[in-house]
């Protein structure tokens, strides 16, 4: 039996889920801004109580590794590592853009039909006109690497000329304003969710694909930059 706690905090949505052998048992989510520090521990406590299990009874903890919000990732990863340390559990980490694809696949197939091939392009807002993105095929294999992209009318043009590209995530809205192509498909909704970690987490657990709890760090992609106000007070 695989009893896995999944945690996703890469965006402004904070979520946690508990699953048994790939089936969702219970779930908590907050999408009202960055309240991760206040809510994540509460969510996890509620999930464990609802399922009547203790951390020691878990099989593993899985967390979205990024890219995404620097603060959100720190909270999610530090919480996951803390549970693993205390309960002596293995830690699983899944790329945040990849886990979004697991949530978007069914809707993409509904929009395009099973017979049509397409690429998945998850997008996480990186502020201003920049997004974190990557391209995956229908088997979740990486086609174009994870990177920070400044959105322009020509963005993803070479892929759009070859076929359908499905854009989704909290960074896709700003992309929609610039990319006007018949092969560009946009999905609405939240895909950076702990529920979408359940399948890749189970696969990783079965393959003993764990990360080192002591040394694992989030995948920030870009360095955290502290800006100083130029406003003069005196």
CA 207 to chain CA mean position, Å? 21
Is residue 7 located within the same domain as residue 64? yes
Q: What is the pLDDT of residue 226?
A: 38
Is there a single domain that holds both residue 140 and residue 107? yes
Which two structure tokens, joined as six digits, stand for 154?
């020509």
> What CATH number is associated with residue 138?
3.30.420
Quickly list H helices, the chain: 36-51, 70-87, 96-112, 157-160, 172-176, 198-206
In this prediction, residue 221 carries a pLDDT of 83
Q: Which tokens is 32 given?
A: 């009202």
pLDDT on residue 225 = 41
Residues 200 and 90 in one domain: yes
Dihedral sign for Cα atoms in the order 31, 35, 41, 46: negative
Based on C-alpha coordinates, what's the Rg of the chain? 18
Q: Are 127 and 221 in contact (CB under 8 A)?
A: no
Amino acid 115: pLDDT: 62
What is the chain's pLDDT, residue by residue, as a tens digit (234 residues)?
899 999 999 999 999 999 999 999 999 999 887 789 999 999 999 999 999 999 999 999 999 999 999 999 999 999 999 999 999 999 999 999 999 999 999 999 998 886 678 999 999 999 888 999 999 999 999 999 999 999 988 899 999 999 999 999 999 988 888 898 999 999 998 889 999 999 999 999 999 999 999 999 999 986 544 333 344 433
Tokens of 7: 């945690």
What is the DSSP code (8-state) at residue 177?
T
Establish if 145 belongs to a structural domain.
Answer: yes
Three-state SS at 82: helix
Counts of helices then strands in the chain (DSSP H, E)? 6, 10
Give the model's pLDDT for residue 177.
Answer: 84
CATH number at residue 198: 3.30.420.40
Model's pTM, two decimal places? 0.90
At 232 the pLDDT is 43
Torsion of CA 184, 185, 186, 191, to 10 degrees: -120
Q: Which range marks the domain in which residue 159 is found?
A: 97-186
The sign of the torsion formed by the CA atoms of 213, 38, 31, 3 equals positive
Same domain, 42 and 155: no
Domain count, the chain: 2
Q: Residue with structure tokens 């978007």?
A: 104
**pLDDT the model gives residue 223:** 53
């Amino acid at each position: 039996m695989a009893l896995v706690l999944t945690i996703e905090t890469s965006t402004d949505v904070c979520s946690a889920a508990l699953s048994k052998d790939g089936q969702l048992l219970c779930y908590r989510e907050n999408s009202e801004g960055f309240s991760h520090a206040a809510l994540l521990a509460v969510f996890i406590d509620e999930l464990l109580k609802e399922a009547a299990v203790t951390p020691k009874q878990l099989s593993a903890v899985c967390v979205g590794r990024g890219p995404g919000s620097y603060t959100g990732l720190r909270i999610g990863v530090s919480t996951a590592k803390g549970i693993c340390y205390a309960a002596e559990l293995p830690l699983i980490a899944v790329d945040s853009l990849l886990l979004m694809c697991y949530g978007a696949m069914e809707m993409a197939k509904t929009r395009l039909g099973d017979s049509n091939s397409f690429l998945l392009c998850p997008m996480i807002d990186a502020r201003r006109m920049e997004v974190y993105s990557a391209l995956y095929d229908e088997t979740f294999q990486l086609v174009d690497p994870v990177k920070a992209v400044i959105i322009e009318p020509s963005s993803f043009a070479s892929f759009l000329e070859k076929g359908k590209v499905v854009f989704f995530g909290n960074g896709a809205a700003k992309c929609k304003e610039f990319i006007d192509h018949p092969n560009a498909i946009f999905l609405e909704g939240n895909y950076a969710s702990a529920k979408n970690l359940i399948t890749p987490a189970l696969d990783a657990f079965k393959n003993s694909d764990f990360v080192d709890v002591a040394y694992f760090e989030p995948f920030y992609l870009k360095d955290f930059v502290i800006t100083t106000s130029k406003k003069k007070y005196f």
